[in-house]
Protein backbone atom coordinates (compact mmCIF):
# COMPACT_ATOMS: atom_id res chain seq x y z
CA UNK A 1 0.00 0.00 0.00
CA UNK A 2 1.41 3.39 -1.08
CA UNK A 3 0.59 6.75 0.50
CA UNK A 4 -0.67 8.84 -2.42
CA UNK A 5 -1.20 12.58 -2.04
CA UNK A 6 -3.46 14.24 -4.61
CA UNK A 7 -3.05 18.00 -5.08
CA UNK A 8 -6.33 19.62 -6.20
CA UNK A 9 -9.94 18.61 -5.66
CA UNK A 10 -11.29 19.36 -9.13
CA UNK A 11 -12.70 16.58 -11.33
CA UNK A 12 -9.25 15.27 -12.17
CA UNK A 13 -8.17 15.15 -8.54
CA UNK A 14 -11.33 13.42 -7.33
CA UNK A 15 -11.27 10.83 -10.12
CA UNK A 16 -7.56 10.22 -9.54
CA UNK A 17 -8.20 9.77 -5.81
CA UNK A 18 -11.02 7.30 -6.49
CA UNK A 19 -8.77 5.30 -8.82
CA UNK A 20 -5.93 5.25 -6.30
CA UNK A 21 -8.32 4.11 -3.58
CA UNK A 22 -9.60 1.31 -5.82
CA UNK A 23 -5.95 0.34 -6.38
CA UNK A 24 -5.83 -0.14 -2.58
CA UNK A 25 -3.57 2.81 -1.89
CA UNK A 26 -3.90 5.15 1.06
CA UNK A 27 -5.08 8.46 -0.39
CA UNK A 28 -5.16 12.04 0.90
CA UNK A 29 -6.39 15.10 -1.07
CA UNK A 30 -5.40 18.73 -0.47
CA UNK A 31 -7.26 21.64 -2.03
CA UNK A 32 -6.21 25.27 -1.75
CA UNK A 33 -9.71 26.73 -1.95
CA UNK A 34 -12.45 26.40 0.65
CA UNK A 35 -14.68 24.70 -1.93
CA UNK A 36 -13.95 21.61 -3.95
CA UNK A 37 -14.76 21.15 -7.64
CA UNK A 38 -12.46 23.65 -9.35
CA UNK A 39 -13.96 24.59 -12.72
CA UNK A 40 -16.73 22.08 -12.05
CA UNK A 41 -18.09 24.10 -9.12
CA UNK A 42 -21.54 25.57 -9.29
CA UNK A 43 -22.99 28.33 -7.21
CA UNK A 44 -26.46 28.19 -5.69
CA UNK A 45 -28.36 31.38 -6.32
CA UNK A 46 -32.10 31.98 -5.81
CA UNK A 47 -32.64 28.21 -5.86
CA UNK A 48 -30.74 27.67 -9.12
CA UNK A 49 -27.35 26.06 -9.68
CA UNK A 50 -25.20 28.31 -11.84
CA UNK A 51 -22.17 26.70 -13.40
CA UNK A 52 -19.03 28.08 -14.97
CA UNK A 53 -20.59 28.06 -18.43
CA UNK A 54 -22.10 25.15 -20.32
CA UNK A 55 -20.85 21.65 -19.56
CA UNK A 56 -22.07 18.63 -21.51
CA UNK A 57 -21.25 15.18 -20.21
CA UNK A 58 -20.08 12.58 -22.71
CA UNK A 59 -22.38 9.62 -22.06
CA UNK A 60 -20.23 6.51 -21.78
CA UNK A 61 -17.05 8.60 -21.36
CA UNK A 62 -14.53 8.04 -18.59
CA UNK A 63 -16.07 10.54 -16.16
CA UNK A 64 -19.56 9.13 -16.66
CA UNK A 65 -18.26 5.58 -16.13
CA UNK A 66 -16.51 6.54 -12.90
CA UNK A 67 -19.55 8.38 -11.54
CA UNK A 68 -21.77 5.38 -12.35
CA UNK A 69 -19.30 3.06 -10.67
CA UNK A 70 -19.35 4.96 -7.37
CA UNK A 71 -23.05 5.92 -7.30
CA UNK A 72 -26.07 3.89 -6.24
CA UNK A 73 -28.39 6.01 -8.39
CA UNK A 74 -27.50 6.85 -11.99
CA UNK A 75 -27.10 10.55 -12.81
CA UNK A 76 -30.05 11.92 -14.76
CA UNK A 77 -28.93 12.87 -18.27
CA UNK A 78 -30.75 14.49 -21.20
CA UNK A 79 -29.11 14.95 -24.59
CA UNK A 80 -28.87 18.18 -26.47
CA UNK A 81 -30.60 17.67 -29.83
CA UNK A 82 -28.71 19.29 -32.72
CA UNK A 83 -31.93 19.58 -34.74
CA UNK A 84 -33.24 21.85 -31.97
CA UNK A 85 -30.27 24.19 -32.14
CA UNK A 86 -30.61 27.12 -34.52
CA UNK A 87 -27.70 28.75 -36.35
CA UNK A 88 -28.74 32.36 -36.85
CA UNK A 89 -29.31 33.00 -40.57
CA UNK A 90 -28.54 29.41 -41.57
CA UNK A 91 -31.11 27.03 -40.08
CA UNK A 92 -30.90 24.05 -37.76
CA UNK A 93 -27.51 22.72 -36.69
CA UNK A 94 -28.63 19.30 -37.97
CA UNK A 95 -31.54 19.72 -40.40
CA UNK A 96 -33.21 16.30 -40.06
CA UNK A 97 -36.04 17.26 -42.42
CA UNK A 98 -33.73 18.36 -45.21
CA UNK A 99 -31.79 15.43 -46.75
CA UNK A 100 -29.98 17.72 -49.21
CA UNK A 101 -28.60 19.91 -46.42
CA UNK A 102 -27.58 16.83 -44.44
CA UNK A 103 -25.77 15.46 -47.48
CA UNK A 104 -23.94 18.79 -47.89
CA UNK A 105 -22.88 18.62 -44.26
CA UNK A 106 -21.70 15.01 -44.56
CA UNK A 107 -19.73 15.84 -47.71
CA UNK A 108 -17.97 18.72 -45.96
CA UNK A 109 -19.71 21.33 -48.12
CA UNK A 110 -21.26 23.25 -45.24
CA UNK A 111 -18.50 25.07 -43.35
CA UNK A 112 -20.98 27.08 -41.25
CA UNK A 113 -22.67 23.96 -39.85
CA UNK A 114 -19.29 22.27 -39.47
CA UNK A 115 -18.02 25.16 -37.32
CA UNK A 116 -21.24 25.16 -35.32
CA UNK A 117 -20.94 21.40 -34.67
CA UNK A 118 -17.42 22.02 -33.44
CA UNK A 119 -18.61 24.84 -31.23
CA UNK A 120 -21.27 22.81 -29.44
CA UNK A 121 -19.44 19.48 -29.30
CA UNK A 122 -16.05 20.73 -28.10
CA UNK A 123 -16.61 24.42 -27.40
CA UNK A 124 -14.53 25.14 -30.50
CA UNK A 125 -12.06 22.28 -30.08
CA UNK A 126 -12.04 19.58 -32.72
CA UNK A 127 -12.84 16.43 -30.75
CA UNK A 128 -14.23 13.81 -33.20
CA UNK A 129 -15.55 11.57 -30.39
CA UNK A 130 -17.67 14.42 -29.00
CA UNK A 131 -18.85 15.46 -32.48
CA UNK A 132 -20.15 11.92 -33.08
CA UNK A 133 -21.65 11.90 -29.60
CA UNK A 134 -23.54 15.14 -30.28
CA UNK A 135 -25.08 13.70 -33.44
CA UNK A 136 -25.97 10.44 -31.69
CA UNK A 137 -27.62 12.11 -28.67
CA UNK A 138 -24.80 11.27 -26.29
CA UNK A 139 -23.74 14.75 -25.20
CA UNK A 140 -25.87 15.45 -22.20
CA UNK A 141 -26.95 18.03 -19.68
CA UNK A 142 -26.71 16.61 -16.16
CA UNK A 143 -29.91 17.21 -14.16
CA UNK A 144 -28.12 17.83 -10.90
CA UNK A 145 -25.46 19.96 -12.61
CA UNK A 146 -21.78 19.29 -13.16
CA UNK A 147 -21.26 19.99 -9.47
CA UNK A 148 -23.62 17.09 -8.71
CA UNK A 149 -21.04 14.78 -10.26
CA UNK A 150 -18.40 16.37 -8.04
CA UNK A 151 -20.67 15.83 -5.03
CA UNK A 152 -21.13 12.14 -5.83
CA UNK A 153 -17.38 11.58 -6.16
CA UNK A 154 -16.64 13.53 -2.98
CA UNK A 155 -19.25 11.76 -0.87
CA UNK A 156 -18.04 8.36 -2.03
CA UNK A 157 -14.47 9.30 -1.12
CA UNK A 158 -15.72 10.43 2.29
CA UNK A 159 -17.60 7.14 2.81
CA UNK A 160 -14.49 5.10 2.10
CA UNK A 161 -12.36 7.31 4.34
CA UNK A 162 -10.35 9.38 1.85
CA UNK A 163 -9.79 12.75 3.56
CA UNK A 164 -10.07 16.04 1.63
CA UNK A 165 -8.28 18.90 3.31
CA UNK A 166 -9.51 22.24 1.94
CA UNK A 167 -7.88 25.65 2.44
CA UNK A 168 -4.39 24.17 2.12
CA UNK A 169 -2.14 25.32 -0.72
CA UNK A 170 0.81 23.24 -1.88
CA UNK A 171 3.76 25.43 -2.83
CA UNK A 172 6.47 22.88 -3.46
CA UNK A 173 7.50 19.26 -3.50
CA UNK A 174 10.53 17.46 -2.11
CA UNK A 175 11.74 13.93 -2.45
CA UNK A 176 9.28 12.27 -0.11
CA UNK A 177 6.34 14.69 -0.05
CA UNK A 178 5.02 18.23 -0.44
CA UNK A 179 5.34 21.56 1.34
CA UNK A 180 2.33 23.76 2.13
CA UNK A 181 2.20 27.57 1.94
CA UNK A 182 2.55 27.57 5.74
CA UNK A 183 5.82 25.64 5.51
CA UNK A 184 4.33 22.33 6.71
CA UNK A 185 5.73 19.13 5.20
CA UNK A 186 3.38 16.29 4.25
CA UNK A 187 5.01 12.95 3.53
CA UNK A 188 3.84 10.82 0.62
CA UNK A 189 5.21 7.96 -1.45
CA UNK A 190 3.66 9.46 -4.55
CA UNK A 191 2.31 12.93 -5.37
CA UNK A 192 -0.32 13.36 -8.09
CA UNK A 193 -0.55 16.95 -9.32
CA UNK A 194 -4.16 17.61 -10.34
CA UNK A 195 -4.06 21.38 -9.90
CA UNK A 196 -5.58 22.21 -13.29
CA UNK A 197 -2.39 23.85 -14.63
CA UNK A 198 -2.57 23.97 -18.41
CA UNK A 199 -0.02 22.12 -20.49
CA UNK A 200 1.23 24.63 -23.05
CA UNK A 201 -1.00 27.57 -23.96
CA UNK A 202 -4.35 27.87 -22.14
CA UNK A 203 -7.47 28.25 -24.30
CA UNK A 204 -9.59 30.98 -22.72
CA UNK A 205 -13.32 31.55 -23.23
CA UNK A 206 -16.04 33.76 -21.73
CA UNK A 207 -19.23 32.49 -20.16
CA UNK A 208 -22.55 33.78 -18.94
CA UNK A 209 -25.15 31.76 -17.05
CA UNK A 210 -28.46 33.46 -16.58
CA UNK A 211 -31.87 32.29 -15.36
CA UNK A 212 -34.92 34.12 -16.76
CA UNK A 213 -38.48 33.94 -15.48
CA UNK A 214 -39.87 33.34 -19.01
CA UNK A 215 -39.18 31.05 -22.00
CA UNK A 216 -38.40 33.29 -24.96
CA UNK A 217 -36.68 30.50 -26.98
CA UNK A 218 -39.90 28.43 -26.77
CA UNK A 219 -38.29 25.02 -26.42
CA UNK A 220 -35.26 25.52 -28.67
CA UNK A 221 -32.19 23.84 -27.18
CA UNK A 222 -29.82 26.52 -28.37
CA UNK A 223 -28.82 29.39 -30.62
CA UNK A 224 -25.51 29.94 -32.40
CA UNK A 225 -24.03 32.95 -34.09
CA UNK A 226 -20.38 32.82 -35.15
CA UNK A 227 -18.40 31.67 -32.14
CA UNK A 228 -21.10 32.44 -29.58
CA UNK A 229 -23.52 29.77 -28.33
CA UNK A 230 -26.52 30.07 -26.05
CA UNK A 231 -27.93 26.82 -24.67
CA UNK A 232 -31.20 26.69 -22.78
CA UNK A 233 -30.53 24.01 -20.16
CA UNK A 234 -34.15 24.24 -18.99
CA UNK A 235 -35.39 23.25 -22.46
CA UNK A 236 -32.99 20.28 -22.51
CA UNK A 237 -33.43 18.92 -18.98
CA UNK A 238 -36.78 19.09 -17.14
CA UNK A 239 -35.04 19.33 -13.76
CA UNK A 240 -33.48 22.69 -14.68
CA UNK A 241 -35.63 25.76 -13.96
CA UNK A 242 -39.04 24.30 -14.98
CA UNK A 243 -41.21 26.88 -16.76
CA UNK A 244 -38.27 29.28 -17.04
CA UNK A 245 -35.06 29.56 -19.07
CA UNK A 246 -31.58 28.69 -17.89
CA UNK A 247 -29.27 30.11 -20.53
CA UNK A 248 -25.75 28.80 -20.33
CA UNK A 249 -23.68 30.73 -22.84
CA UNK A 250 -20.15 30.67 -24.17
CA UNK A 251 -18.13 32.99 -26.44
CA UNK A 252 -14.81 31.86 -27.84
CA UNK A 253 -13.79 35.48 -28.38
CA UNK A 254 -15.04 38.97 -27.64
CA UNK A 255 -15.85 38.54 -23.94
CA UNK A 256 -19.18 38.45 -22.10
CA UNK A 257 -20.36 41.56 -23.99
CA UNK A 258 -20.46 39.51 -27.22
CA UNK A 259 -22.82 37.05 -25.53
CA UNK A 260 -24.97 39.93 -24.30
CA UNK A 261 -25.05 41.38 -27.83
CA UNK A 262 -26.48 38.11 -29.17
CA UNK A 263 -29.03 37.99 -26.37
CA UNK A 264 -30.02 41.60 -27.11
CA UNK A 265 -30.40 40.73 -30.79
CA UNK A 266 -32.37 37.49 -30.43
CA UNK A 267 -34.00 37.58 -26.98
CA UNK A 268 -35.42 41.06 -26.72
CA UNK A 269 -36.25 42.21 -23.20
CA UNK A 270 -34.19 39.45 -21.54
CA UNK A 271 -32.58 41.93 -19.15
CA UNK A 272 -35.90 42.67 -17.47
CA UNK A 273 -36.57 38.95 -16.81
CA UNK A 274 -33.32 38.06 -15.03
CA UNK A 275 -33.65 36.07 -11.81
CA UNK A 276 -29.93 35.51 -11.36
CA UNK A 277 -26.68 35.45 -13.36
CA UNK A 278 -23.04 34.42 -13.14
CA UNK A 279 -20.29 35.33 -15.57
CA UNK A 280 -16.62 34.78 -16.34
CA UNK A 281 -14.91 37.10 -18.76
CA UNK A 282 -11.94 34.75 -19.09
CA UNK A 283 -11.79 31.15 -17.92
CA UNK A 284 -9.51 28.34 -19.07
CA UNK A 285 -11.47 25.84 -21.13
CA UNK A 286 -8.56 23.59 -22.01
CA UNK A 287 -4.95 23.90 -23.14
CA UNK A 288 -2.75 23.13 -26.14
CA UNK A 289 -3.91 19.51 -26.03
CA UNK A 290 -7.41 20.75 -26.96
CA UNK A 291 -9.23 18.10 -24.91
CA UNK A 292 -12.10 18.27 -22.46
CA UNK A 293 -11.94 16.28 -19.29
CA UNK A 294 -14.85 13.86 -19.40
CA UNK A 295 -13.57 11.63 -22.19
CA UNK A 296 -9.96 11.40 -21.14
CA UNK A 297 -9.89 11.37 -17.35
Ligand X SMILES: Cc1cc2nc3c(=O)[nH]c(=O)nc-3n(C[C@H](O)[C@H](O)[C@H](O)COP(=O)(O)OP(=O)(O)OC[C@H]3O[C@@H](n4cnc5c(N)ncnc54)[C@H](O)[C@@H]3O)c2cc1C
Residues that bind ligand X (CB under 6 A): 7-13, 30-33, 38-40, 52-56, 123, 169-170, 194-196, 205, 207, 250, 283, 285, 292-294
Pick the closer one to ligand X by CB: 132 or 268: 132
CB of 12 to ligand X, least distance (A): 3
Pick the closer one to ligand X by CB: 54 or 95: 54
CB of 4 to ligand X, least distance (A): 15
Q: Tell me the C-alpha distance between 84 and 95, whole Å.
A: 9
CB of 284 to ligand X, least distance (A): 6
Find the angle CA(32)-CA(294)-CA(222) to the nearest 5 degrees.
105
Residue 79's alpha-carbon distances to 91, 196, 295, in angstroms, are 20, 27, 16
| CA dihedral sign, ordered 191, 66, 152, 44 | positive
Pick the closer one to ligand X by CB: 39 or 81: 39
CB of 184 to ligand X, least distance (A): 12
How many CB atoms sit inside 10 A of residue 72's CB? 6
CB of 101 to ligand X, least distance (A): 26
Q: Tell me the C-alpha distance between 196 and 194, whole Å.
A: 6
Q: Tell me the C-alpha distance between 178 and 56, whole Å.
A: 34
CB of 77 to ligand X, least distance (A): 12
Pick the closer one to ligand X by CB: 101 or 250: 250
Number of helices (H), then strands (E), in the chain: 9, 19
User: Is-contact 186 34, C-beta < 8 A?
Assistant: no
Pick the closer one to ligand X by CB: 95 or 170: 170
Q: Which ranges of the chain would DSSP assign to H, the alpha helix?
A: 11-22, 62-70, 99-106, 111-122, 128-135, 146-159, 233-236, 255-266, 293-296
CB of 22 to ligand X, least distance (A): 18
Pick the closer one to ligand X by CB: 101 or 294: 294
Pick the closer one to ligand X by CB: 29 or 110: 29
First CA to last CA distance, the chain: 23
Contacts of 282 (CB under 8 A, 6+ apart): 204, 205, 206, 255
Pick the closer one to ligand X by CB: 91 or 196: 196
CB of 208 to ligand X, least distance (A): 10
Closest CA to 52 of 280, 229, 234, 288: 280
Query: Environment class of residue 219 by beta-carbon count within 10 Å: exposed (0-12), middle (13-18) or buried (19+)?
Result: exposed
Amino acid sequence: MKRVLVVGAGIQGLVTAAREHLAKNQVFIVEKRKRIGGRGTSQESFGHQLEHGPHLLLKGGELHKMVKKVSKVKPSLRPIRPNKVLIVGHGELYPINDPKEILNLKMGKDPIREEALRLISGWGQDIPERKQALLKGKLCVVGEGWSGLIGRLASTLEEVGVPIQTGMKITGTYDGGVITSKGMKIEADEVKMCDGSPIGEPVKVSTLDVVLDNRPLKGLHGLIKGDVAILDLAAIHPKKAPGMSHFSCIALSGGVSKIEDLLDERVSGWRSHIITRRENNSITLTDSRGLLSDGMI
